[in-house]
Amino acid sequence: MSSTVLLGITGGIAAYKSPLLVRLLVKAGMDVHVVMTRNAARFVTPLTLATLSGNPVWEDMWEERHQPSVEHISLADRADVAVIAPATANIIGKIAGGIADDMLTTVLMALTCPLLICPSMNINMYRNPIMQGNLQKLKDVGHRILDPDAGYLACGYTGEGRLPEPECIAEAVGRMLGPRDCAGIRILVTAGPTEEPLDPVRFITNRSSGKMGVAVAERAAARGADVTLVAGPLKVSPPARVRHVPVRTAQEMLDRVMEDFPEADVVVKAAAVADFRPAVMNAAKAKKENIGSSLTLVRNPDILATLGRIRRDDQILVGFAAETSDILQNARSKLKKKNLDMLVLNDVGREGAGFDCDTNIVRFIHRSGLEEQMEIMSKLKVADLILDRVLTMRTARPRGRSEDRCR
């Protein structure tokens, strides 16, 4: 049985991409129902979308179609996932404010399925604090935002605000419709950097944005897992459907991880924990003339090694390694020393891999000796591949206390 996708189209110039998106979704075997605003019809015709989708296109709340039900409720009930592409500043503001004054906003108000919002607008409109506040409000209630691309805009500006390409949107919709094969599994994820304070102003940290760990948490939750995300200061918002435990230092991260570790079935430790911290944390800002030319450091606890020592046989432990030289030798050594089931190796010297970007290039190194080199792909795709391998390992693992609890 095909999945039903509700596609909302609003009145932005990027609506010209909507027919291709409909075509891609239909080609993927999805049943697409289009609801568009009156202004959207100025950019792309309902006839085009009806022809491509094979279904009637809805614009007007009061259009007579001799339907036996209240159609805005029926459309919302049938949808397995909804997507708004393009999503203008106007529609985003309406959704955030709970306004339902036309066919599309009324359908959206009745939705119970996941909603993907694809903003598209002028860069200054996108950066407006009110717009950013509306987007955050939508994230907080569980809606997913597909960040716009950056580039040349129809208004003549250059910057973020471009609607992502239809292929990217179709891929995101496909992920949202993915299997809930992690249902009943408790997954503990760590993400982001840690900050090790020298004084109330200065601290030692690293370049980690937290995107990889957040991607793992997001995909695990989407696939049905019970997810706890213990994260240092993130540069991205944590997923709405996970339990987010914010921390700052390595010691705080260890303490919080240890609280949840006994009940975890799987741990994916993607955080970039600082190896060292200042030996002394000054209560007041240290004057530079008093700091001197050297700083005394002490080693932080090794969270992954600690978990490797105390783990049960029925727990799955996945670690990450960011390397720049002797990468395979270092990664294989880390896998063994820290008693991991799998290590995800990042060669952070390669373009498109590592810190603060949306893509990654990884190699999976397994306890069995199997090694898998992956091509460049989105971090969300990497996250799905990690979860696929976790599920395979759980299937091969003898049944134990954790297995009995989750099945």
CATH number of the domain that residue 168 is part of: 3.40.50.1950
Q: Which of 155, 182, 357, 406 is catalytic?
A: 155
Full domain range(s) for residue 229 = 186-406
Residues 201, 143: one domain? no
**pLDDT by residue, tens only, the chain of 407 residues:** 578 999 999 999 999 999 999 999 999 889 999 999 999 999 999 999 999 999 999 988 776 554 544 566 888 888 999 999 999 999 999 999 999 999 999 999 999 889 999 999 999 999 999 999 999 999 888 899 999 988 877 777 788 889 999 999 998 898 888 788 999 999 999 999 999 999 999 999 998 999 999 999 989 988 889 999 999 999 888 886 789 999 999 999 999 999 999 999 999 999 999 999 999 988 899 887 777 778 899 999 999 999 999 999 999 999 999 888 888 999 999 999 999 999 999 888 788 787 778 889 999 999 999 999 999 998 989 999 999 999 999 998 765 544 433 33
| Residue 181, in any domain of the structure | no
Looking at 176, 196, 219, the residue that finishes a domain is 176
What gap in Å lies between CA 341 and CA 327, rounded to an integer? 18
Q: Within this chain, do residues 264 and 135 fall inside the same structural domain, yes or no?
A: no
Which residues are CB-contacts of 346 (< 8 A; sequence separation ≥ 6)? 320, 321, 322, 323, 353, 354, 360, 361, 362
Q: Are 141 and 230 within one domain?
A: no
Quote the pLDDT of residue 69: 47
Q: How far is CA 216 from the centre of its chain?
A: 7
Question: Do 264 and 161 belong together in one domain?
Answer: no
> In this structure, are 253 and 303 located in the same domain?
yes
CB 276 within 8 A of CB 296: no
Task: Single out the residue in 158, 176, 194 at which a domain terminates.
Answer: 176
Q: Indicate the number of domains in the chain.
A: 2
Query: Which pLDDT value is given to residue 401?
Result: 46
- State the distance between the two ends of the chain, measured CA to CA, in whole angstroms: 26
Same domain for 43 and 149, yes or no, is yes
- Asked if residue 322 belongs to a domain, the reply is yes
Cis peptide before 86 (omega within 30 of 0): yes
Give the model's pLDDT for residue 399: 52
**Residue 407: predicted pLDDT:** 32
Both 44 and 138 in one domain: the answer is yes
Q: What is the pLDDT of residue 406?
A: 35
Cα separation values, 358 from 34, 132, 271, Å:
30, 20, 16
Residues 162 and 27 in one domain: yes
Does any domain span residue 255? yes
Tell whether 252 and 357 lie within a shared domain: yes
pLDDT for position 249: 97
Task: State the CATH number of the domain containing residue 211.
Answer: 3.40.50.10300
Active site residue 118: no
Do both 169 and 215 map to the same domain? Answer: no
